[in-house]
Amino acid sequence: MKTTNTASHQGRLRRIEGRHNALVKELRKAFARGEPTSDGYCAVEGTRILEEAIRSGLRFRAVFFSQSAENKAERLLPQIGEHVETLLLPDKLFATAVPSESPQGVAALVRWKEFSLDDVLAKAKSGPLLAIAGVQDPGNLGTILRSADAFDAAGVVLGEGTVSPFNPKVVRASAGSVFRLPLARTKLNHAVARFREDGLRLIGTSSHKGVPLNQAKLDGPLVIFIGSEGAGLPRDLVSQMDELVVIPHSPRVESVNAGVAASIVLYEAARKRG
């Protein structure tokens, strides 16, 4: 029976040899841009990320396997469905399309929903919102999104200057959490006005001054603002916060990075909510 299944999976794989195949070109372009293609598909790679995309109910346009990872098709194809293009590429061709330094031999074009600010605000009663002000490191943003998912944040608003959530390094660092969280991209000064209209408390994070985190009021509808790695929150945003909180830490360290700070604050907010 196993031999029959393997044969049927191999039969589904369309072998591609040329780098000018339209889907290969689209995958390469989507990875390079770190943004959706013109018809809304994003590039992802890695077995675990594909499995998270499947569990999250995302729509697949195409799935790509390298020759050396062909055995992974037996496990993944039954989960993907019958009506998705599945391609088998020589290892060298796969490597030209997938930028990872250690590719796992599996990649895909997937589509997931990008939310509006109204969509995210509608979820604010179920947990805190996060507002990200200029976090540029993909690893940091991915960590923030993973922690937001782990500690039940209701949604995330990404301000100007923040790395794209569709960047493949963000997707990988988030371990698939990016697929499940309501994410909206907007200008934060516009968002602040909307937060106020909806009665949300604005909590800013600071590395030097503010209420110690364990004393901060973190219950009720609120938005937690996380600033950029170097400069923190812009002054015009700091002046609009209802409260600034600081994470006490050793004076030997100037500050913790944005991903760590967001994770600690989200954990404390979740602990106080019980």
For residue range 149-194, what is the model confidence (pLDDT) as tens digits?
Answer: 999 999 999 999 999 999 999 999 999 999 999 999 999 999 999 9
Q: 35 and 122: one domain?
A: no
Vertex 192 angle, CA 267 and 163, to 5°: 65
Q: 249 and 141: one domain?
A: yes
Q: 93 and 121: one domain?
A: no
Q: 217 and 93: one domain?
A: no
Tokens of 161: 């200057």
Burial of 3 (0-12, 13-18, 19+ CB in 10 A): exposed
Select from 59, 89, 111 the last residue of a domain.
Answer: 111
Q: 250 and 131: one domain?
A: yes
pTM of the model: 0.89
Beta carbons of 205 and 226 less than 8 angstroms apart: yes
CATH number, residue 207: 3.40.1280.10
What are the φ and ψ backbone dihedral angles of 100, each rounded to 5 degrees? -60, 140
Select from 111, 134, 169 the last residue of a domain.
Answer: 111
Distances (CA, A) of 68 to 5, 11, 60, 65, 92: 18, 16, 22, 8, 10
> How remote is the C-alpha of 205 from its chain's centroid?
21
Q: 55 and 177: one domain?
A: no
Domain interval for residue 85:
2-111
> Mean pLDDT, to the nearest integer, of 92-108?
89
> 195-232: per-residue pLDDT in tens?
999 999 999 998 788 899 999 999 889 999 999 877 88
pLDDT of 1 over the 70 cut? no
Beta carbons of 134 and 11 less than 8 angstroms apart: no
Q: 104 and 131: one domain?
A: no
| Of 149, 112, 111, the residue nearest 130 (C-alpha) | 149
Report pLDDT for 6.
46
Report pLDDT for 11.
55
> 21-47: per-residue pLDDT in tens?
999 999 999 999 999 988 889 999 999
> 102-133: per-residue pLDDT in tens?
778 999 999 988 899 999 999 998 999 999 99
Q: 200 and 267: one domain?
A: yes
> 31-90: per-residue pLDDT in tens?
999 999 888 899 999 999 999 999 999 999 999 999 999 999 988 998 887 889 999 999
pLDDT of 2 over the 70 cut? no
By three-state DSSP, how is residue 139 classified?
A: helix
Q: Tally the domains of the chain.
A: 2
> 234-255: per-residue pLDDT in tens?
999 999 999 999 988 888 877 7
Report pLDDT for 87.
96
Q: 106 and 49: one domain?
A: yes
Q: 185 and 260: one domain?
A: yes
